[in-house]
């Protein structure tokens, strides 16, 4: 019997579920989508567990799950993995451009289908649902260093490829539509012909900021005025020390020394907005498609990155 966190076993189970999900002749769309959603969670677990089983272990007070995942506890101990929301959040950070928001729409549809009287998967037609699904699943397959045909078989690979191509076209069309609409709306505002209902929603002179932790000015692809790129996730940090001398522990408290130290943070861009034309691009895919930078550099807090002692638990 394989370990519950074994990534190969999780991959094999995901293959089984997707085989059921792609049985067009035997299952209704809602049942297909249910199996596919279950497979997505398994793929997320497999991708993380392949890096380390600890990434999918649910922390508990006595640490049993972590001990099992680390291989220190054997036998009949029960292993519990983290919730789907946590899995998707970790994949979002680890496997770009995996989109946590899109993945959670699939997971929430599954939960609604199973646990409530809501429409679940039926809220989105199959021709729109599958491209969005495979856009996320394919990223996890890549994170596992696998190919689509290994997951669904060579006979079904063309079907997946078609969905992926459709999703790419959707992103392209969506980005173009948002930019062209922003241009049109701005011109109407300048000409004084903006419909009253739209004018009432116009926030002239205001950023439509998402209030994320980091931001940088960027030229708007619609009106070429200064917009704002934003992001939460720091993907890299670099400390710059004064030239001609190393960093010594006795210099941590030297304020003059720290005045010459700087930190550069590289941040993943997840949101763009422009006050000039009201354009909003609220995903990494849209930002990339629009030709904006998908990462940007900002100055970090020196006190946060320099001279900090690691925190140790005292349990």
pLDDT digits (tens, 9 = 90+) for 4-57: 778 999 999 999 999 999 987 778 899 999 999 999 999 999 999 998 888 998
> What percentage of the chain carries pLDDT values higher than 70?
86
What DSSP string runs through 213-259?
Answer: SEEEEEE-TTT-SEEEEEE--EEEEEEEPPTT----GGGTT-HHHHH
97 touches 104 (CB < 8 A):
no
Residue 290 has a pLDDT of: 96
pLDDT digits (tens, 9 = 90+) for 101-114: 999 999 999 988 88
pTM comes to: 0.68
Q: What's the CA gap between 65 and 245, in Å, rounded?
A: 46
Strand partners, 57: 81
- Is 31 in a helix, a strand, or coil? helix
Name the DSSP letter for residue 156: T
Q: What is the dihedral of CA 283, 289, 291, 297, to 10 degrees?
A: 30
Peptide linkage before 97 cis (omega within 30 of 0): yes
b/e sequence 117-148, b meaning 16+ C-beta within 10 Å? eeebbbebebeebbbbbbbbbbbbbebbebeb
| pLDDT confidence band for 178 (50 / 70 / 90) | very high
Q: What's the CA gap between 217 and 227, in Å, rounded?
A: 6
Mean pLDDT (whole number) for 223-229: 95
pLDDT at 2 over 80: no
48 touches 56 (CB < 8 A):
yes
132 touches 102 (CB < 8 A):
yes
198 touches 185 (CB < 8 A):
yes
**What's the Rg (C-alpha) of the chain?**
24
Largest CA distance in the chain: 74
The helix (H) or strand (E) run that includes residue 300 is none
Mean pLDDT (whole number) for 207-215: 89
């Amino acid at each position: 019997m394989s370990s519950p966190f074994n990534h190969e076993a999780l991959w094999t189970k995901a293959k089984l579920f997707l085989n059921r999900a792609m049985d067009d002749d035997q299952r209704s769309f809602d049942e297909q989508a249910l199996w596919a959603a279950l497979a997505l969670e398994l793929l997320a677990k497999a991708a993380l567990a392949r890096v380390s089983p600890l990434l999918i272990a649910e922390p508990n007070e006595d640490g049993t799950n972590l001990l099992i995942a680390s291989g220190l506890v054997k036998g009949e101990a029960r292993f519990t993995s983290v919730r789907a929301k946590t899995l998707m959040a970790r994949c979002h950070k680890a496997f770009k451009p995996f989109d946590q928001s899109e993945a959670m729409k699939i997971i929430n549809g599954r939960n609604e289908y199973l646990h409530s009287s809501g429409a679940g998967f039926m809220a989105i037609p199959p021709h729109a649902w599958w491209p969005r699904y495979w856009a996320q699943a394919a990223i996890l397959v890549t994170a596992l260093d696998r190919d689509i045909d290994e997951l669904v078989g060579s006979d079904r690979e063309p079907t997946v490829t078609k969905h992926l191509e459709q999703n790419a076209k959707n992103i392209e069309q969506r980005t173009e539509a948002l930019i062209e609409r922003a241009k049109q709306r701005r011109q109407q505002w300048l000409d004084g012909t903006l419909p009253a209902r739209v004018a009432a929603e116009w926030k002239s002179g205001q950023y439509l900021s998402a209030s994320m932790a980091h931001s940088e000015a960027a030229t708007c692809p619609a009106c070429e005025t200064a917009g704002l790129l934003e992001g939460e996730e720091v993907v890299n940090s670099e400390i710059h020390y004064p030239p001609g001398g190393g960093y010594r522990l006795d210099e941590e408290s030297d304020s003059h020394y720290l005045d010459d130290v700087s930190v550069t943070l590289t941040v993943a861009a997840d949101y763009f907005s422009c006050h000039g034309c009201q354009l909003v691009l609220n995903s990494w895919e849209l930002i990339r498609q629009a030709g904006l930078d998908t990462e940007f550099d900002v100055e970090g807090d020196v006190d946060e990155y320099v001279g900090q002692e690691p925190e140790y638990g005292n349990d």
